[in-house]
Amino acid sequence: GAVVSQHPSWVICKSGTSVKIECRSLDFQATTMFWYRQFPKQSLMLMATSNEGSKATYEQGVEKDKFLINHASLTLSTLTVTSAHPEDSSFYICSASRKSNSPLHFGNGTRLTVT
Amino acid sequence: DQQVKQNSPSLSVQEGRISILNCDYTNSMFDYFLWYKKYPAEGPTFLISISSIKDKNEDGRFTVFLNKSAKHLSLHIVPSQPGDSAVYFCAARLTGANSKLTFGKGITLSVRP
């Protein structure tokens, strides 16, 4: 069964509004979670590494003020897309591993459409 | 700069035959490689992995081969089944990178009944 749960699975919002996406590890504690983004027919691009109890680590080119990450507990990380614009429309996927150096498990992703 | 490359965007195979999906990488510091399968509107599902100290790993119908000198790995599926039709991503991890993965662009496999 699923080990990483992501919510919502899809969301449509108006330009200028903010959207929060939740990622939960279901039966294990994840000190680290990863947020990816995928454009159509493209690879999964790592956006940031979410660290429980500390600041997230963002990849080059990803605006930390635009994509706010909070990892307040060992089973929950949230990604907030602030002041969303149509170019933010994409498929956002979170992931976590049960333990260090084991395969990542992914959530089912969130399809964000900004109108 | 694409460090993990899946140069063929698609592959079509007859049911029952072998599917061979290829992946090349450029960074010699990658020490762990994974294959993920992805259906539309879903997150990737882990399929099989291989450590850089091995050259082959097998799990049922799925076998991954690693050629370190060529910086090349391949996923073999035999026999292929219609349910295998999906996008397959090759991913690689740097030594000590705490699970952080670099993905290829994926290859769409279609298995014809």
What are the start-end ranges of the E strands in chain A? 4-7, 10-13, 19-25, 32-38, 44-51, 57-58, 67-73, 76-81, 90-96, 105-106, 110-114
**pLDDT tier for residue A78 given thresholds of 50, 70 and 90:** very high
Question: Contact, B104 vs B83, CB < 8 A?
Answer: no
Which positions in chain B touch A10 (Cβ < 8 Å)?
Answer: 41
Q: In percent, how much of chain B has pLDDT > 70?
A: 96
Are residues A101 and B34, on separate chains, in Cβ contact within 8 Å?
no
Q: In percent, how much of chain A has pLDDT > 90?
A: 69
Are residues B99 and A32, on separate chains, in Cβ contact within 8 Å?
yes
- Cβ neighbors of B38 (< 8 A, separation 6 or more) are B44, B45, B86, B87, B88, B89, B106
Q: Which pLDDT score, from 0 to 100, does residue B71 have?
A: 96
Nearest neighbour of A34 by CB, restricted to B42, B45, B100: B100
- What is the rounded distance in angstroms from the CA atom of residue B17 to the CA atom of residue B80? 6
**pLDDT tier for residue A80 given thresholds of 50, 70 and 90:** very high
Are residues B100 and A49, on separate chains, in Cβ contact within 8 Å?
yes
Q: Which pLDDT score, from 0 to 100, does residue A31 have?
A: 84
Q: What is the pLDDT of residues B20-60, one digit of tens each?
A: 999 999 999 899 999 999 998 788 999 999 999 999 999 99
Which positions in chain A touch B89 (Cβ < 8 Å)?
Answer: 43-44
Q: Which pLDDT score, from 0 to 100, does residue B99 have?
A: 66
* Mean of per-residue pLDDT scores for chain B: 93
Question: Contact, B45 vs B37, CB < 8 A?
Answer: yes
Q: Which pLDDT score, from 0 to 100, does residue A70 have?
A: 92
| pLDDT at position A33 over 80 | yes
DSSP state of A56: -
> Which of A31-40, B69-78, B95-104 shows the lowest mean pLDDT across its residues?
B95-104
Written as one letter, the residue type at B11 is L
* A50-58 mean pLDDT: 89
**pLDDT tier for residue A53 given thresholds of 50, 70 and 90:** confident
In a mutational test of the A interface, the residue from B4, B6, B99, B108 whose CB has the highest number of chain A CBs within 10 Å is B99
Distance from CA of B70 to the nearest CA of A (A): 22
Nearest neighbour of B99 by CB, restricted to A36, A42, A100: A100
Nearest neighbour of A44 by CB, restricted to B41, B46, B89: B89
Q: Which pLDDT score, from 0 to 100, does residue B77 have?
A: 98
Q: Which pLDDT score, from 0 to 100, does residue B11 have?
A: 96
Q: Which pLDDT score, from 0 to 100, does residue A89 have?
A: 95
- What is the rounded distance in angstroms from the CA atom of residue B37 to the CA atom of residue A39? 17
Q: Which pLDDT score, from 0 to 100, does residue A1 have?
A: 63
| pLDDT at position B98 over 80 | no
